[in-house]
Amino acid sequence: MRGHEKLQGLNLTDDQKAQIKKIHEDARSQMDALRADTSLSDADKQAKMRAIHRATMQQVRGVLTPEQRQELRQQMRERRAQRQQQQQPS
């Protein structure tokens, strides 16, 4: 799922969409550079990818209103619960 898909239903303004698009583009270029870096171990790459993801989410949250942040938290909780249900054996 792409970052912008996660934000559907938040009623973003055009300005917010533009800001978030730039944040995601910057993160994507950082990830691409990281994937191309052959000097890092896989574990180091994974750690740096997680750091980029955390920083990206923090920047996105800074663009959102308090109500949008609350809605995003709720959506993330629901997705996490769905993944956990799918991973549990029937």
pTM over 0.85: no
Half-sphere exposure of 27 (CA within 13 A, CB side): 22
How do residues 48-83 score in pLDDT, each as one tens digit? 999 999 999 999 999 999 999 999 999 989 999 999
Q: What's the CA gap between 42 and 48, in Å, rounded?
A: 10
Q: Which of 85, 87, 79, 58 is nearest to 9 (CA)?
A: 79
Hey, what are 52's tokens? 């980029």
Dihedral sign computed on CA atoms, order 73, 22, 46, 87: positive
Q: What's the CA gap between 16 and 3, in Å, rounded?
A: 13
Hey, what are 57's tokens? 């989410």
